[in-house]
Structure formats: structure tokens, C-alpha cells
Structure 1
Amino acid sequence: MTDNDDFLPAPLCRLDQLADPGSLGVERDGEMLMVIRQGNRAYVYVNRCPHRGIPLEWVPNQFLDSSGRLIQCASHGALFLPENGECVAGPCAGAYLQPRRCHIGNGQVWLD
């Protein structure tokens, strides 16, 4: 094993682990993330509300509203667009979730 082995890429999850639409909470290098699936696209954000600095979900892996279309903060109901993390309703309207670049390859979601 070399020092570079610590930096080998590893998938966050398999795409088929996520419903469509769906969400999953994961931890990577001590950072709590959420993976959001919308069709054949995946988005990754830091699991932290820009308004209160707390995790967005109350129930593990449930980050989406009842429509499955928007990310919802369980604490105060703020709604975020999966495509860019913008808050479109709630006390942090106009703020953004912190994104992490990702891609889908070989049926898995990877951080870039």
C-alpha cells in the first residue's frame, strides 16, 4: 500500500440504491452528505441547512418533500431545488446548499 491509496476514489452509493426520485444520507471523510436522485441525474450536497447549520432530515435518508421534487429541511420546512441547491421557500430563501461535484459511472454515484 502506498500513501496515495488513501485517495483512491470510492463510490458514494449505487444508483439503484436510490428510488427515483429518492435520497440517501452518506458520510465521506467525516463529512455528512446527501445524495439526491432525479431521473438519471444525481446531486450531492453537504447535509447542513444554510439557515440553522443543522442536518436537514429527521428520518434517515429522507431529504425530499412529499412530491419528491424538492429537498426539504425537516426543521423549518425550507425547500431547495435539487438542480442547484437554491432555497426557493422558507426563512433562508435565496441561500444555497453547499454542493459537491459528482458524476454517475458504472451504475454508481462518485464524487469528483
Structure 2
Amino acid sequence: MYLTQLLLPLYDNHGQALPKTLFAQVRDELLEQFGGLTAYTRAPVDGLWREDDNHAVHDDLIIYEVMVCELDRAWWANYRASLETRFCQEQLLIRAQLVEML
């Protein structure tokens, strides 16, 4: 089983809040595709990375995650590309980890 996480920015590259309907659409799509999800939306996580030696970039993010039995890499690659367009991002992170159920 895999835990698949989508790190979604709350703001566009110009600092404008992204519409809540965008997040609702993603939530609904994941629910339809996978039958459930967990959404970490109450306290945004802070993303911080260096683009070069002098410039750090910051994002406020929420995380949506789904559990999947099999990892369909082609589906996720297409979905990530779609989200990058909708969220106006050069790159959006979707990550998957192998999970052992206890």
C-alpha cells in the first residue's frame, strides 16, 4: 500500500490566495477516484527552499493524501501536470511512500 501526498500551495506566484473552489475540486476528484482522502487544511505547513545561494522561496501549503494499493505512475504524472496548470505552478509535488499496515 502507498501513502500518496499532494502538497498544494495556498497562494499563486504573485501572492494572491487561490480560490477555495480549486481545492474543493481536487478534493472531489480524489474522493471520486480513490474513495477517500485525508486533508490537512487547518494549519498550513510552511514550505521553504533555496532557488539559489541568495534567494529563498516560501510557500504556505495544505496536504491532501490518499492510500492506494497500487501506484499508477502514469495517472499521477498526468494528474500532477493538470494540477500544475490549474494552480499556475512550474512544479507541484506529489510524493508516495510505501506503507506497511500494522
- Decide which structure has greater strand share: 2
TM-score in same-fold range (> 0.5): no
> TM range, normalised to the smaller chain?
under 0.3
Of structures 1 and 2, the one with the larger relative CO (CA 8 A, separation 6+) is 2
- Decide which structure has greater helix share: 2
TM-score (norm 2): 0.28
